[in-house]
Structure 1
Amino acid sequence: MVAGWGRLVSALITAVLLLAGCGTVRIPADPDGTLDRVRGGVLRVGVSPHEPWTTLTTGEEPGGIEPDLVRGWTAGLGARAVWTVGGEQALVQAMERGELDLVIGGITADTPWTDMAAITQPFTTSQGPDGPQEHVMLAPMGENAFLVELERYLLAQEVQV
């Protein structure tokens, strides 16, 4: 009986030491390091036109509810946004290839892109033709620290439609 306890204690001590030797594990994690790269750097944002969420004027940065939210978030990260304008499909594909960090454009929670992109928690609700619509932004799959940091910011905002 004592020998059995000794082995159990030894196994537990070994497990604790092995886990301690693993270094710092951050959860949630970003396998591609998106949040670390963006912080103090550049956030690459895909913008699909969809007023009033995103508005486009030739030669100017995008305006509207969502670009304003993105600018507020990047300011808090000490980063700046670089904008790419296009249709949702092209932007989501660019994000899948690692060319963009975020896609915005009046996207709702029932988006067809959930197989290709992670969606934020809804940050506001608007009235659509078929009833209430929850609005989200698209982020790269698996970049969970990035997604959580963005969601914290979005959910702290009072978005007026």
Structure 2
Amino acid sequence: MRNRRASLMLAVLSVATLTGCGITIPADPDGTLDRVTDGTLRVGVSQSDPWTVTEGTGQPQGTEVDLVEAFAAHLDADIEWTAGGESDLVQALEAGDLDLVVGGFTDATPWESKAAVTQPYAESTAPDGGTARHVMLAPLGENAFLVELEHFLLDGEAER
């Protein structure tokens, strides 16, 4: 009982200390959400029809492009599109040159060690007949940005 009480007191003291320091959770160490809001959302997009169409269109199109445009409007942000291959875009995301990458990614993405993966927000039929659960990629550690994006995608904000 004494160890439990001591642990509880330590937890309360820790929370009180962190609160007094002005730390907010979730946080963005690089300030992505603050920078993008009323600013520019830098988005990497790779070809994955019908989710993202970059070839021969001039301007990206597709289901995920529409979602990103609605999210940018939600943040009062302009969009700067960068088309490319997945590997190059994920590398740019890691380097801090992009804020978001879309391209028909699923929760089976091989990029989860290099990018924060949103919760699945849509499902489709995979080529093998199974269910593909679609996600977007954000910078690792930019949790306030990721939470805002997930709330937008999962709470139906995109449909409003």
Shorter-chain TM-score: which interval? Answer: 0.7 to 0.9
- Percent of paired sites with the same residue: 55
Rounded to whole Å, the distance in 2 between the matches of 1:34 and 1:60 is: 27
* Residues 99-136 of structure 1: CA deviation (Å, up to 9, x unaligned): 00000000000000011001000000000122100000
Show the counterpart of 2:28: 30
Higher CA-based Rg:
1
Equivalence for 2:142? 143
TM-score scaled by structure 2? 0.84
Give the C-alpha shift of residue 58 in structure 1. Answer: 4.2
Match of 2:108 among 107, 110, 131: 110
Aligned residue pairs, count: 148
Deviation at 1:156, TM superposition (A): 2.3
RMSD over equivalenced CA pairs, Å: 2.5
Q: Residue 152 of structure 1 aligns with which residue?
A: 151
Aligned to 2:120, which of 119, 122, 129? 122
1:86 equivalenced with 2:79 (yes/no):
no
Q: 1-side partners of 2:96 and 2:84: how far apart?
A: 16
Q: Deviations over 1:42-86 (max 9, x none)?
A: 000000011000012546321100010011011011101110000
Determine the structure 2 residue equivalent to 1:64: 62
Structure 1 window deviating more from structure 2 (60-69 vs 82-91): it is: 60-69
Mapped to 1, the partners of 2:18 and 2:55 lie a distance apart of 54
Q: CA, structure 1 residues 158+51, in 2 after alignment: closer, same or farther (shift >3 Å)?
A: farther
Distance 1:126 1:26, change over 3 A: same
Stretches of structure 2 lacking an aligned partner (at least 5 in a row): 1-5
- TM-score, normalization: structure 1? 0.84
> How far apart are residue 19 of structure 1 and its match?
2.0
Match of 2:37 in 1: 39
Does structure 1 conserve the Cα–Cα contact (< 8 Å) formed by 2:52 and 2:63?
yes
Cα contact 2:45–2:54 (8 A) shared by 1: no
